[in-house]
Structure 1
Amino acid sequence: MNLILVFSEEMDADGRVRLMDERALHIRKVLRGTVGQKLRIGLLNGPLGTGTVEEVSQEAVSLSCVWEERIPERPGVDLLLAMPRPKVLKRLWAQFAALGVGRIVLANAEKVERFYFDTHIIRPEFYKARLIEGLQQARDTFLPEVSVVKQLKPLIEDDLNSVFPKVGKRMVADPSGTQNIFQCLESGGEKVPDSGKRVLLAVGPEGGWTPYELEMFRSNGFEVFGMGSRILRTDTACVGLLSLLAEGLRKPV
């Protein structure tokens, strides 16, 4: 936990927060918090800041919060993911937040098992805690927005602009792609990081997109790219692709 995330409803009128959950335990046991110690904190969907420890007990840890004026930018990558196996998705939630995804849409596809959508893994009360875990690891404050869409065709052909607003580059990963992710980012003559627009990455099921689905993506402005001939599991592919995308979008120092 590299950042203590707090929620606006936890703070009193004087900017103090009293923690009584795993965050307090982390401060006591891992950070060995003492009165007067300053800790890195963040306000969920808001700025970073500094928390000064005012009280440490077995029941709670109290912090006095001071916030920076600047709010970090929301991650510029959105993810359209064919619904993976629930046990795989369970592992991925924290990684999505840690790697910097602004919006996640879980969608159906031809090679997705329908019963996957019955899992509790896609309930907000389950995934929110995992997303927060990822944010605290990466020192970020913006909680990814999550939605579930059970029909891919209407999403791509009718609702894409409303579900994913301000997207400047649409990319779909598939082993058939002849260009790599960096070539895909640079194609079209517009450098995405300088455009002020977002990147939408579509990742298919472990069985892959069907030819019909790939053609539907192409017809709606998606560029196909690949990572080589290896067929990867969904969790491996997502982590690898998001890491490469973050590098491709990183602005020069």
Structure 2
Amino acid sequence: MKALVTPLLALGLAIGTAGAQQVSANVALGSSGRGSVVQNTLGQTGEAQPGIHGRSLLFLIESLPEKVFAYDAAVANSDKPLPGMPVHAKGYLNHEFDNLPMGAKEIVFTKSEDPASVKAADQRIARAVVPENLKSGIFLFLPGTGKPGDDLARVMVLDDSAQKFPAGSLKVMNLSPQPIRIQLENKDFDFKIGEQRNIENPPVNENQMSGMRAFGFQDNQWQRIGASMWPHPGTKRVLQIIFMNPATQQVEIRGVRDVTSL
């Protein structure tokens, strides 16, 4: 399967640029074509599985190559490299996860089961810096630069433990090139460029909905960029990702609901 990725033309936090190709208006809701391989599930009974419990989420990427493998970069470059660990990336979040290399400071994703692929630019898909002591995380795959020799994608890692991303909260990620203000029921939440932060127990009306208005700071003033109604997450969690749409050059917000029960 050919990977479908809209490239970025800059390595900064902005997700869009004037030269980028048009992307789909919605996050892909299907898996990347590897449904024949059974994944582990969060909350399953039995003996705990080794490795980081990683869920790979595609954003502005329709799919990755048909086979994807994860390596601890240091181990792969050692005298005793280990085989790659299979990865299944999706456009949604549920209870399924992959076991990824435990204790890795950097994880390299490639198209091959051969550890030597971590050094091959034509085999490498992405690299991720892993937070210290991470046990469970969301690996957010974003488009790469599209430049020859650069990785196909880039990855941001989010600790999705109950302590770092509690049930009933929103995790807002500002990947746009502007400071952003989110107003929920007239309460302001400001986000710097590149900032990500939880909004725990967001304010709601009598219908358990938050009237949301969003503003970007541009030309020395706050300019409205959108408005909507956000339901309270209840016992679940929601990622709200703010980004520059490369097709429209407008800042947008897209939510990804995590249906996993904590």
Structure index of larger Rg: 1
- Which structure shows the higher helix fraction? 1
- Please give the range of the TM-score, normalised by the shorter of the 2 chains: under 0.3
Q: TM-score, normalised by structure 2?
A: 0.24
Q: TM-score, normalised by structure 1?
A: 0.24
- Which structure shows the higher strand fraction? 2
